[in-house]
Structures are given as C-alpha cells and as structure tokens.
Amino acid sequence: MCKAKLGVNPLKANVIPIVRAQADFRFDHICSTLWLVVSLLSIRFEVDKIKAPVAHPKVIMFDTTPLFSLPKVEQYQRLAQQARVLMEGEKDRIANAANLSALVMHALPDLNWAGFYFYDGTELVLGPFQGKPACLRIQLDRGVCGAAARTRTTQLVPDVHAFPGHIACDAASRSEIVVPLVHQGRLVGVWDVDSPIPARFDVQDQSGMETLCQIYLDSVFGVR
C-alpha cells in the first residue's frame, strides 16, 4: 500500500534490471564480435605478408667473353657495346674505371696490364687497374704515360725499350698504348695498356681504345 501511494510500479521495478541485463549482453556480444573480426583481419594480414614475395636488391651479373677469335675491328665493336652497358647509369669514376680495366683485360688477347692513372694537378696517380703492381706516381716529363698526358695525344709504342725515359713497371712489357683522358680541355688522366708482345698495338687498337676512353668519359661527365 505504501509503495503504491508513492507511485512505485512493482512491474516496472522488475523490468528495468532485465532491460539493463539485455543491454549489457548486447554490448558484450558486439564487443566480442568486433574483437573476432579484428583478430581475423590481423591473421589474414600476417598470412598475406608470408605469401608476399620478398623484394631483393637487383643484382646484375656481367659475363665477359674473350674476343680472341674475332677480327680486331669487331673486337672493339663488341667491347664498346659491353662498356656502355657496364657503365650505364653509373657516374663514379673509380667504379667505372675498375670495371673497364677488368673488361678489357679479360676480353683482349696478349695483354699484361690495363688501367688508369688520374691527374691530380701535378702528376699522374695510379688508379684502378688489372695486372701486376705498378708505379704509384708518374711525373708528366717521364715515360709513355707522362708523354701522353703532356702532349694530350695517344702514344702508340711498338717497343717500349726504345722509348726515351720509359718507366719499366713490369719488366715483361714490350709494347704499350696510352690514351690521354681529356674533358672540355681539362686533363683527367690517362688510359694505359701494356703487352708482352712487341708491336702488339696498331692504329686499329688506337681507334678502339680511344672510343672506349670516350665512352668512359661520357659515363662520368655526361654525353657530349
């Protein structure tokens, strides 16, 4: 009687806890469902990562083939093509000099030294090469390399022992060709190739070597 007088409905008082319980159940159910969906998506993502191919840095293998059996003109045509591919996109002078030295040394017959000397403003300093250890520094008034650097002209020497002031870095060398490296009138260095065979190099070698040197300069400084 007292509760009725105070306006309290016994039925309503019993319904409210039931509604709240149902709401709590629905909320817990929604949370459980969301957690399950997130878990499944996470598992799917991890599976996709496992299935996805792993990206590896691109590695280019360059196979040098000896060109001994080809006519000399064709030897240099092949070398020029290979040199362009080998130095494409690379401007570092040391990296390209190292690869060009290796390319020529492995491709052409009857060589015992091939490499670079770079001009430091005073003298020539040894750069990348293939062959026996060589002279570290060469003054411009000494040897075949110095003559090429000083005169800015290719030196084609059939007999190194007959060349005034020849520097014998390798006693086995009998003939030599040295090409000056000049960019926009500035001396960069020289390209030096030796052979244990007298008169190994001729005008065809000179033309081919000068082409290779221009390809090298273009790779480092940009195409003319």
Let me know whether 17 and 118 are in one domain: no
Maximum separation of any 2 CA atoms in the chain, in Å: 137
Inside any domain, residue 202: yes
Domain of 43, in residue numbers = 2-51
Let me know whether 23 and 116 are in one domain: no
pLDDT of residue 11: 46
| pTM, to two decimals | 0.73
Inside any domain, residue 58: no
Residue segments in the chain with a per-residue pLDDT below the cut of 50: 1-6, 8, 11-12, 15, 18-19, 43, 45-52, 54-59
Give 177-219 as a 3 state SS string.
EEEEEEECCEEEEEEEEEECCCCCCCHHHHHHHHHHHHHHHHH
Let me know whether 121 and 209 are in one domain: yes
Instruction: Count how many domains the chain has.
Output: 2
